[in-house]
């Protein structure tokens, strides 16, 4: 009996074959496929009090075909999921689709199709591929970012950010991709100044754009890295991206001839404790105020003398200190990091003192050196008498309370630019009213549905501007005529919270129930590629911190552990010199993907999966060569 039972596991006939032929292999895999899926579904439906284990893998763009990079990620997640299930855990291994964005839109334009039809067709195809590979996901928790039941809640989270003062619109010099005809966040431009997706050389362009104030969370995000285990270099990459959070911005109201211009300018200082000793605010010649349509432009340009520090007739009123200082156009072409506006404090910098003296500016001395060498504050209102260390904390805290700045950040980090001038994305839920300004769409009116447009070309103005019936609307506040925002959101907004939606994917009343999110979060292991180390995980960590501050979840950290494709840079063993890598990452944009169905056809599912797990640990790359692999 035992012998027959064992044999029946490997063949339908119960008879061992001397040669393990391709047909036999297919029969074995077919015999097991349904049974494995059935057991997985049975265990997934078990809502007992077993300890949870959340396996999160990067969700794919629905390009239509999987490549071996996809299969490797999902083979690892599938293996971990089965292992943890056999250990007695209640396992969540969900799958979804990062379905908005340029790949789908560009593909639809090339083929003369509607991107929605193209995307849905690709999702169906890729879902079948995943199933054919014997991968077990919690398909009852599937999410698709381009469906209204998902992007309704992306819009909801945007409104929460807007109401918290973290989503704002301003005119800015932005990274413009001339091929994809849209702006890019800093994170989407590589070290050579090229677009991460199209490869085009990025241009600088002045546009009015939507930003999310991630700089307000820079210090908490940096500090929270210490609570995470080592992620094969991810921690150091994120720490380097955020930078040393040793200073902050203070908000200033700009004035011309004593009159409020309506412009608010944020200026940075590495010495916020000494802000009462400011002598001036300095802007670069490349600053948006000197290049845009602002009424300040004329006043500023009258003073501009390239290569020298130019004193202007514009003044800046520090909202926190209540003190007014002149605006100076710097003779420099750049400041530290990405800064374009700084506060000059002579007590803290010889260079600032020399500049102020050369322009005949006066200032208050705010630092006094005690006999023991410590410095205390003078002429600093309620902070007078405090040590510099004490004042650093108390000044920045008070500024935050007054909504005047004070959030610790670095000189290199900039806010998250989320506007995209393309069609296939989540509509930004804002209407523009001539009387009320930008007004959020009421929650009960969400989602703002993406309208159908006659045609897509990928060139010129945003396609949403052509949808006149959709564009014209009523202001939710004054009921007057208004227009909808025609920019859509960067797809990284969609993917910054999908791990939360997986915990409660059918909820029609809120993005997710707190009890469900608290049960499954934080993620126990995340599996994804190196390209997600800064962008995706940084934004996801930001949203996780924000949702915690909004009382939506208990945890700030969204991930406990990470398996990713990282490894040391290759070097020559004897000399230690760095070697040049002559292969490249599989990608649909590079058209170099290897179809897993070809591998399955030749070697079978089990052999392919075993090789993926055997060839290299998750943190290292695999060089694919169909002949040798």
Evaluate whether 300 touches 291 at the Cβ level (below 8 Å).
no
Residues 216 and 248 in one domain: no
Q: What is the pLDDT of residue 217?
A: 97
Output the domain CATH number for residue 262: 3.90.740.10
DSSP at 61: P
> For residues 479 and 539, what is the distance between their CA atoms, to the nearest angstrom?
35
Average pLDDT over residues 571-593: 49
Structure tokens at 293: 């349509």
Residues 322 and 348 in one domain: yes
Residues 301 and 340 in one domain: yes
449 in any annotated domain: yes
Q: Mean pLDDT in the chain?
A: 86
Residue 269: pLDDT over 60: yes
Q: What is the pLDDT of residue 41?
A: 81
- State the pLDDT confidence band at 343, using cuts at 50, 70 and 90: very high
621 in any annotated domain: no
Residues 269 and 384 in one domain: yes
Residue 277: pLDDT over 90: yes
Q: What is the pLDDT of residue 3?
A: 38
- Output the pTM of the full model: 0.88
Q: How many domains does the chain have?
A: 2
Average pLDDT over residues 401-423: 94
Residues 212 and 298 in one domain: no
Residues 448 and 369 in one domain: no
Q: What is the pLDDT of residue 568?
A: 41
Q: 């010099």: which residue's tokens?
A: 173
pLDDT tens for each residue of 302-326:
998 888 999 999 999 999 999 999 9
> For residues 256 and 299, what is the distance between their CA atoms, to the nearest angstrom?
8
Residues 397 and 430 in one domain: no
Average pLDDT over residues 583-604: 59
- Measured in residues, the chain has a length of 629
Lowest mean pLDDT among 58-67, 182-191, 511-520, 615-624: 615-624
- State the pLDDT confidence band at 629, using cuts at 50, 70 and 90: very low
Residue at which a domain ends, from 482, 508, 539: 482
Average pLDDT over residues 75-99: 93
Q: What is the pLDDT of residue 497?
A: 97
Per DSSP, helices labelled H in 66-134 are 68-86, 102-111, 115-132
pLDDT tens for each residue of 528-542:
776 666 778 899 999
Residues 369 and 274 in one domain: yes
- State the pLDDT confidence band at 357, using cuts at 50, 70 and 90: very high
- In DSSP notation, 398-439 reads HHHHTTSEEEEE-SS---EE-EE-SSSSPBP-EEEETTTEEE
Q: Domain residues for 340?
A: 244-409
> For residues 170 and 211, what is the distance between their CA atoms, to the nearest angstrom?
8
599 in any annotated domain: no
Residues 350 and 317 in one domain: yes
Q: What is the pLDDT of residue 311?
A: 96
- State the pLDDT confidence band at 620, using cuts at 50, 70 and 90: low
- State the pLDDT confidence band at 47, using cuts at 50, 70 and 90: low
Output the domain CATH number for residue 454: 3.40.50.620
Residues 230 and 296 in one domain: no
Share of the chain above pLDDT 70, in %: 86
Residue 566: pLDDT over 80: no
Residues 304 and 384 in one domain: yes
- State the pLDDT confidence band at 609, using cuts at 50, 70 and 90: confident
How far are the Cα atoms of 39, 174, 185, 210 from residue 416, in angstroms, in the given order?
A: 44, 11, 7, 9
Residue 407: pLDDT over 90: yes
Share of the chain above pLDDT 90, in %: 58
Residues 250 and 295 in one domain: yes
Average pLDDT over residues 114-120: 92
- Nearest Cα neighbor of 102 from 415, 451, 456, 455 is 456
Max CA pair span of the chain: 101
Q: What is the pLDDT of residue 459?
A: 67
Does residue 417 or residue 585 have the better pLDDT? 417
> For residues 177 and 387, what is the distance between their CA atoms, to the nearest angstrom?
48
Q: What is the pLDDT of residue 570?
A: 45
296 in any annotated domain: yes
- State the pLDDT confidence band at 234, using cuts at 50, 70 and 90: confident
Q: What is the pLDDT of residue 6?
A: 40
pLDDT tens for each residue of 2-21:
333 343 444 455 666 667 67
- CB atoms near residue 277 (< 10 Å): 25
pLDDT tens for each residue of 235-256:
888 899 999 999 999 999 999 9
Average pLDDT over residues 248-273: 95
Residue at which a domain ends, from 393, 409, 425: 409
Average pLDDT over residues 484-508: 96
- CB atoms near residue 10 (< 10 Å): 17
- State the pLDDT confidence band at 617, using cuts at 50, 70 and 90: low
Question: Going by C-beta distance under 8 Å and a sequence separation of 6 or more, which residues neighbour residue 437?
Answer: none
66 in any annotated domain: no
Residue at which a domain ends, from 409, 431, 460: 409
Bond prior to 447 in cis (omega within 30° of 0) = yes
Residue 40: pLDDT over 50: yes
User: Do β-strands 472-474 and 488-489 pair in parallel, antiparallel, or remain unpaired?
Assistant: unpaired
Q: What is the pLDDT of residue 52?
A: 94
- State the pLDDT confidence band at 616, using cuts at 50, 70 and 90: low
Evaluate whether 533 touches 237 at the Cβ level (below 8 Å).
yes
Q: What is the pLDDT of residue 597?
A: 73
């Amino acid at each position: 009996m035992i012998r027959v039972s064992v044999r029946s596991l490997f063949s339908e006939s119960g008879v061992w074959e001397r040669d393990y032929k391709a047909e036999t292999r297919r029969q074995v895999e077919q015999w097991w496929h349904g049974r494995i899926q059935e057991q997985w579904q049975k265990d997934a439906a078990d809502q007992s009090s077993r300890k949870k284990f959340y396996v999160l893998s990067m969700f794919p763009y629905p390009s239509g075909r999987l490549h071996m990079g996809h299969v490797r990620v999902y083979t690892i997640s599938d293996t971990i999921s089965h292992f943890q299930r056999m250990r007695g855990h209640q396992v969540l291994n969900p799958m979804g689709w990062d379905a908005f964005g340029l790949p789908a839109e560009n593909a639809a334009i090339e083929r003369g199709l509607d991107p929605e039809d193209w995307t849905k067709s690709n999702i169906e195809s890729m879902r079948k591929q995943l199933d054919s590979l014997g991968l077990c996901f919690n398909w009852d928790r599937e999410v698709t970012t381009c469906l209204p039941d998902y992007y309704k809640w992306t819009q909801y989270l945007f409104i929460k950010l807007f109401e918290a003062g973290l989503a704002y619109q301003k005119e800015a010099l932005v990274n413009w991709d001339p091929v994809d005809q849209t702006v890019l966040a800093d994170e989407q431009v590589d070290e050579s100044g090229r677009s991460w997706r199209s490869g085009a050389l990025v241009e600088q362009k002045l546009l009015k754009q939507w930003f999310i104030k991630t700089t307000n969370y820079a210090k908490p995000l940096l500090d929270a890295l210490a609570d995470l285990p080592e992620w094969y270099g991810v921690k150091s990459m994120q720490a380097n991206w955020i930078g040393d959070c040793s200073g902050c911005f203070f908000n200033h109201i700009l004035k011309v001839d004593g009159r409020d211009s309506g412009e608010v300018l944020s200026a940075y200082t590495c010495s916020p404790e000494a802000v009462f000793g400011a002598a001036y605010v300095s802007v670069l010649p490349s600053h948006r105020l000197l290049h845009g349509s602002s009424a300040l432009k004329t006043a500023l340009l009258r003073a501009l003398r390239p290569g020298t520090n130019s004193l202007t007739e514009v003044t800046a009123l520090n909202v926190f200190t209540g003190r007014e200082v002149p605006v100076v156009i710097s003779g420099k072409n750049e400041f530290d990091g990405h800064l374009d506006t700084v506060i000059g404090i002579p007590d803290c910098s010889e260079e600032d003192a020399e500049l102020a003296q050369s322009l005949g500016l006066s200032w208050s001395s705010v630092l006094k050196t005690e006999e023991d060498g410590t410095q205390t504050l003078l002429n600093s209102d309620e902070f007078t008498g405090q040590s510099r260390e004490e004042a650093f904390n108390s000044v920045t805290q008070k500024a935050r309370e007054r909504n005047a700045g004070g959030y610790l950040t670095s000189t290199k980090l900039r806010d998250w630019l989320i506007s995209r001038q393309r069609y296939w994305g989540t509509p930004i839920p804002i209407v523009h009213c001539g009387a009320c300004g930008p007004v959020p769409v009421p929650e009960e009116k969400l989602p703002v549905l993406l309208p159908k447009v006659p045609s897509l070309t990928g060139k010129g103005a945003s396609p949403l501007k052509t949808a006149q019936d959709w564009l014209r609307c009523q202001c939710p506040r004054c009921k007057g005529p208004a227009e909808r925002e025609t920019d859509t959101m960067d797809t990284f907004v969609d993917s910054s919270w999908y791990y939360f939606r997986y915990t409660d994917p059918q909820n029609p009343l809120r993005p997710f129930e707190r009890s469900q999110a608290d049960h499954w979060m934080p993620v126990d292991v995340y599996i994804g590629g190196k390209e997600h180390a800064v962008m995706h995980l940084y934004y996801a960590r930001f949203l996780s911190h924000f949702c915690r501050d909004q009382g939506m979840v208990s945890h700030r950290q969204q991930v406990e552990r990470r398996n990713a494709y990282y490894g040391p840079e290759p070097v020559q063993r004897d000399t230690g010199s760095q070697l040049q890598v002559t292969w490249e990452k599989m990608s649909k944009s590079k058209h170099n993907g290897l179809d897993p169905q070809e591998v399955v056809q030749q070697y079978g599912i089990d052999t392919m999966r075993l090789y993926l797990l055997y060839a290299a640990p998750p943190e290292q790359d695999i060089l694919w060569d169909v002949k040798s692999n």
